[in-house]
Amino acid sequence: MTGPLVFPSSIAIRLDHSSGSSFAVGMTILPRSDMRLAALWMTGAIVSFSAMAVAGRKVTAELDTFELMTYRSIISLVLVLAIAAFAGTLNQINARSIRLHTIRNLSHFAGQNMWFAAITMIPLAQVVALEFTSPIWVALLAPLFLSERLTPLRIFVAILGFIGVLVVARPDLSHIELGSLLASGAAIGFAGSAIATKRLTRHESITCILFWLALMQAVFGLVTAGWDGQITVPSVKLLPWVALVSVTGLGAHFCLTTALKHAPAVIVMPMDFARLPLVAMLGIAFFSETVDIWVFVGAAIIFGANYLNIAAEARRNRALT
């Protein structure tokens, strides 16, 4: 629904030997038209994720994160049902994997709440930089939940990613910044959600996955937001921002999924790095934030670790085809 660009391991690389202009990545040959379409859809994903960060910061001026998740999930549920009805895919919704849906959505709900909390405590660019560790957590956790091997490269990638986190956060051991801890926790939550999603997509449709995502998180939100017996109703002025959080969340993942249909992760993933300077500029423009150069240095290290892992997986999958 929302969150960082997460690429579970073992993503297949496309082989396309179409005639005409092409773009080569290793042994993969992509038509330039596919490259342009992938870039176009990733632009949509980057803009959507960035807009969601700004909208989320605006909304938390009145709502706590649980209330925000409640309203966002209800709006998302309405959108999912409407789109599924239009597309004729309502019959794909079933409860045969309800346990895995529950695990996935608990992980995502925890990660998303920590993410929304983090963007109110530290600069948006710092949150996004720490988000980039999600694929690293996927690589570490996949051997436990997907029966994949923990290779020396994955261990090296994890160490490199941790160094990047230290550069971004530069923690003072006498005063650990809560916002950085929450952003890092959000990355772990998103990684758990990505692993569960990978298992679900083996036998469940996107409509089914999104339906249970929206429904369960609406329930989780109502329970946690109403724990104290009071749920704040957003003001009329705030309603457009609440709607924007929902629409951009769905839109971002639709754009991302479509981009991956046109180009492999090894090409798409570097495009997401453009989200960092965009979010930094939005933080400056909307919230007068200041961005430390070390946030970009640490993000570059994290990006490098991610790219090493995805490029290695691409080579492995290419060797198997």
Looking at the chain, the whole-number percentage of residues with pLDDT higher than 90 is 41
C-alpha 10 chain-centroid distance: 18
User: What is the pLDDT at residue 26?
Assistant: 41
d(CA 164, CA 252): 25
**Span 126-149, pLDDT tens digits:** 999 998 888 888 878 877 776 667
| Cβ–Cβ < 8 Å for 162, 215 | no
pLDDT band at 2 (very low <50, low <70, confident <90, very high): low
pLDDT band at 158 (very low <50, low <70, confident <90, very high): confident
| Cβ–Cβ < 8 Å for 224, 60 | no
d(CA 122, CA 114): 12
Looking at the chain, the whole-number percentage of residues with pLDDT higher than 70 is 84
Helices 152-169 and 124-131 cross at an angle (nearest 10°) of: 170
